[in-house]
Structure 1
Amino acid sequence: MGRVIARPAFLDETELPEILLKTARLQVLPFEDADFPLLLDLHSDPEVNRYHSPGPVPMAKEEARRRLNNYVQMHRQSGVSKWKLETLDGEFVGRAGFSWQQEPAGYELGYSLKRSAWGRGYATEIARELVRWFFEETDHDHLLAYAVSENLASLRVMQKAGMRLWLEMEKHDLPCTFYRVDRTEFENLSNQQRV
């Protein structure tokens, strides 16, 4: 899987933090086994899955369970995973976080929102915060994000999160556009915003 990140300081072996990060309107928490109905409901909407595997169909229960198990396991092992995304009042609106990609190699920022959460700016809000969190809490030198090339809304989110166009290639037999941000670029942008 490449270079393993340093285990984030906030992560204790015996106790997982309840809230990993907050924005003005959103909070991110680790998934738990009991969250299966939430994840299944999210991916039961064909429109939510349009640009994700399995495509514009409801996700099978077995696949949703496999993904949830992976999210829980990855969080426990490394502190980096796809996490539960809620409003500050606890309403589940989707998932967001990171997963390791083999080709091209690196952690990928990803999110999936319930249709009722679309058009509110949540994707941009959480993507920006996840980029910040990634570079402040891990020692990786770059972060990737990609979307099916026709998914212009997601490509705009990546741009607004401070990522730059990097690569076009097929992924899962679909033309995809990749964005990337390096640690140096992130630090330069952060310094400019403070001035």
Structure 2
Amino acid sequence: MAFPIPETVVTESARLSFSVFKPEDAVALSILHSDPEGERYLFRDGMLWSPDYAAGEITKWRKTFAERGYSKFKLIRKSDGAFIGRAGFGFDETHDVAELGYSIARAEWGKGYATEAAAHLARWFFETELASRFIAFAVPENQASVAVLRKIGMREIAPLSVKGIVCTAFELTNAVQRLK
């Protein structure tokens, strides 16, 4: 099944709008992923994103949306139109499942945006019937991210090895989501 890539907002939460990244968003995305503090848990061995690298990721994410109906989305704060990060789903080929991930600009940490984005996307994912489950993972040292995943109702599953790092892994199914 093919999914047309929308040119406007895909979904909205109370404070955030979620849209598919466009090629012209590469610079903003590279800035987000050029903060060493923000990148320390993202499995990139200290690599910061150049605009060219970000453009390549955007191309992949747009392809994922066209094929699967989900993607890593651009997060815009509705109150002022500011780009504050990304959140959404990629396809984990190793485990044949959608994988939730997010990255919030450091200046926006501690304001509940990661939890709001993750909870909203979980509901959206199941409401649009994209699949019956998804996973997420975080390095154990990233306690803030682990807390977000627990807060949205994900259940811990067996640890996953990601690029040689053992991660705390979580799963959410539509059956669990319906109980909320």
Number of the residue aligned with 1:78:
68
Secondary structure in 1 aligned to 2:45?
Answer: coil
Write the deviation string for residues 6-62 of structure 1: whole angstroms up to 9, x where unpaired. 66xxx6x4x715111111111111100110111111111111111113134422444
Deviation at 1:124, TM superposition (A): 0.3
Counting matched residue pairs gives 179
Number of the residue aligned with 1:152:
143
Secondary structure in 1 aligned to 2:29?
Answer: helix
Query: TM-score, length-normalised on structure 1?
Result: 0.85
CA separation in 2, counterparts of 1:35 and 1:139?
25
- Contact 1:48–1:56 at 8 Å: present in 2 too? no
Deviation at 1:187, TM superposition (A): 0.8
Q: How does 1:82-121 map to 2 (within 5 A)?
A: 82-88=72-78, 89-121=80-112
Which letter does structure 2 place at the counterpart of 1:180? E
Secondary structure in 1 aligned to 2:38?
Answer: coil
**Which of 62, 65, 68 is the aligned partner of 2:55?**
65
- Contact 1:141–1:183 at 8 Å: present in 2 too? yes
Number of the residue aligned with 1:128:
119
CA separation in 2, counterparts of 1:54 and 1:151?
15
Which 4+ stretches in 1 moved above 3 angstroms? none
Whichever of the two has the greater Rg, that structure is 1
CA separation in 2, counterparts of 1:138 and 1:149?
30
1:162 aligns with 2:153: yes
Unaligned runs of 5+ in 1: 1-5, 190-195
Unaligned runs of 5+ in 2: none
Name whichever of 29-38 and 99-108 sits farther off: 99-108
- Contact 1:97–1:110 at 8 Å: present in 2 too? yes
CA separation in 2, counterparts of 1:107 and 1:163?
14
Deviation at 1:125, TM superposition (A): 0.5
- Contact 2:72–2:87 at 8 Å: present in 1 too? yes
Deviation at 1:150, TM superposition (A): 1.3
Write the deviation string for residues 121-161 of structure 1: whole angstroms up to 9, x where unpaired. 00000100000000011241111110112111101000111
Query: TM-score, length-normalised on structure 2?
Result: 0.92
